[in-house]
């Protein structure tokens, strides 16, 4: 198998991995196995185990239990004036004590939400993007540790020649809206090929929504297949990873 950290780094260029609530379900489509995908009010995370990503080539050893301490900054994204977006607007803070994450995130105020023309940047792998109503505003969360690491909720799986990376985003919108797009393909930074073979169709509700992004990096060309669904799997781990450029 390819070096997992190298592959994961390529995947991280393509994804803003936001975090999920404490109540989740697994990746199957059975209703009994899928947790809530919509929340209102503050997000509360209490004493959830944190893991570290490793350099192992074995899927079973990709994560090791983290037992350390970290401060946590809770950020939302904002354009920096150069056409890029960085997690620079702070919503709050949290902590990791003895490897356990505790955090509470308030609902974003209006001045922490982006209009659709900016909000759509994280769906840019799809063509013909549209939002109904177009006046909807939203944003995405990012947890950053006091050691300048990302704290993601994710799962990796794979075989001898491919690796799946699945991740949970927490997306906030100020009104019910429908985000759609059509399949696309192209090249990401770092010369990584990607395809989005499925239509994008997200029916978001006012408040917090869990969006599961599934990416497959496959073969020597590093083709990355992307999809997004409203899901909330429970077998994902909170994982500390270095911030990728």
Percent of the chain with pLDDT over 90: 45
Percent of the chain with pLDDT over 70: 79
Rounded Cα distance, 236 and 157, in Å: 11
The pLDDT of residue 28: 37
Rounded Cα distance, 2 and 224, in Å: 14
pLDDT band at 33 (very low <50, low <70, confident <90, very high): low
The pLDDT of residue 162: 74
Domain range enclosing 29: 4-242
The pLDDT of residue 218: 58
- Mean pLDDT for the stretch of residues 14-40: 49
From residue 102, how far is each of 95, 159, 190, 202 by CA, in Å? Answer: 6, 34, 35, 29
Q: Is the pLDDT of residue 222 over 80?
A: no
**Count of structural domains, the chain:** 1
- Mean pLDDT for the stretch of residues 196-218: 90
- Mean pLDDT for the stretch of residues 3-9: 39
Rounded-to-10 torsion of CA 232, 234, 237, 238: 60
């Amino acid at each position: 198998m390819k070096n997992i950290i190298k592959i994961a780094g390529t995947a991280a260029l393509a994804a803003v991995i936001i975090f999920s609530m404490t109540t989740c379900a697994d990746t199957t489509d059975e209703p009994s196995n899928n947790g809530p995908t919509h929340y209102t009010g503050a997000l509360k995370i209490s004493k959830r185990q944190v893991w570290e990503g490793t350099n192992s080539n074995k899927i079973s050893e990709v994560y090791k239990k983290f037992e350390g301490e970290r401060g946590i900054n809770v950020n939302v994204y904002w354009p920096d004036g150069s056409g890029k977006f960085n997690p620079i607007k702070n919503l709050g803070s949290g902590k990791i004590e003895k490897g356990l994450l505790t955090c509470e995130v308030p609902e974003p105020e209006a001045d922490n939400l982006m209009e659709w023309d900016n909000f759509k940047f994280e769906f840019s792998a799809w063509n013909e993007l549209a939002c109904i109503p177009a006046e909807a505003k939203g944003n995405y969360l990012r947890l950053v540790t006091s050691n300048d690491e990302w704290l993601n909720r994710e799962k990796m799986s794979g075989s001898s020649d491919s690796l799946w990376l699945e991740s949970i985003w927490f997306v906030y919108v100020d009104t019910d809206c429908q985000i759609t797009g059509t399949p696309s393909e192209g090249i990401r930074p770092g010369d990584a090929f990607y395809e989005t073979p499925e239509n994008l169709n997200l029916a978001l509700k006012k408040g917090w929504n869990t969006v599961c992004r599934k990416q497959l990096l496959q073969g020597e060309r590093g083709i990355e297949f992307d999809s997004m669904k409203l899901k909330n799997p429970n077998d994902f781990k909170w994982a500390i990873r270095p911030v990728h450029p």
